[in-house]
Copies of this chain bind each other. A is one copy, B any other.
């Protein structure tokens, strides 16, 4: 199907396929070169950026919708993802942006379910940066990572949603283990610490960090050390997946 036809169908008949007035937006966090990143889409014609989002199929669990969106934008599957807040300002509507979009796309439509107000549920995900191949959706011209400290202008309240996701991530850090989806399979303790420091945006004590993390039991140290590195070679670690999953559910209650 041609792009124009797809878009026309989405705008004209999407409400037969999706739930109305409700959407899902994903904050996809990644970690690369010691920096926390977020995956954003550039709205076609408009130029400003947006969170990867989408709609819920009439017979689909909202969690599955979020996972589907993540999968479509990144190719990544089966990661830790959770809703963190619902955004419901009465003026949350893409009417203007979508009308401009249709005009530029050469599509004429007077009415569309997409001109209505939407309530959106924010989902946050942590993904392995190296496994992601960013793919724009069909209303976007680009899809790429942004450093968390260098976020471009965003549509609607998306900046607000992003900030809330980050705040939530920092809170969660005390109760849930983090890293399994953000780091490669093998990693060193300094790398894990950098991740925590990046998310929390402050320095942590190297020795206390190691003790705290190891006391949770979610890590296993390998006999292998990192090669070809200046100074003393750090050990590699990997997550003990059983205990990691257990800690994800039950919480592990530690503070940093």
Contacts and interface: CB of A to CB of B under 8 A. Distances in A.
Contacts of A90: 59-61
Nearest to A251: B171
Interface stretch (A16-24, A193-201, A234-242): A16-24
Contact of A83 (B21, B60, B62, B86): B86
Interface residues on A, range: 20 to 34
A181 to B, nearest CB: 22
A121 B86 contact: yes
A65 B241 CA distance: 42
A58 B59 CA distance: 24
A62 B119 CA distance: 9
A85 interface: yes
Contacts of A89: 61
B85 A83 contact: yes
Contacts of A4: none
Which 9 pairs, one residue from A and one from B, show the smallest C-beta to C-beta distance? A62-B88, A19-B21, A20-B20, A59-B90, A22-B22, A20-B21, A86-B121, A83-B86, A61-B88
Interface of A: 19-22, 56, 58-63, 83, 85-86, 88-90, 117, 119, 121
Given A19-B21, A58-B117, A61-B88, 13 more contacts: A19-B20, A19-B22, A19-B119, A20-B20, A20-B21, A21-B21, A56-B119, A59-B117, A61-B89, A83-B85, A83-B86, A86-B86, A86-B121
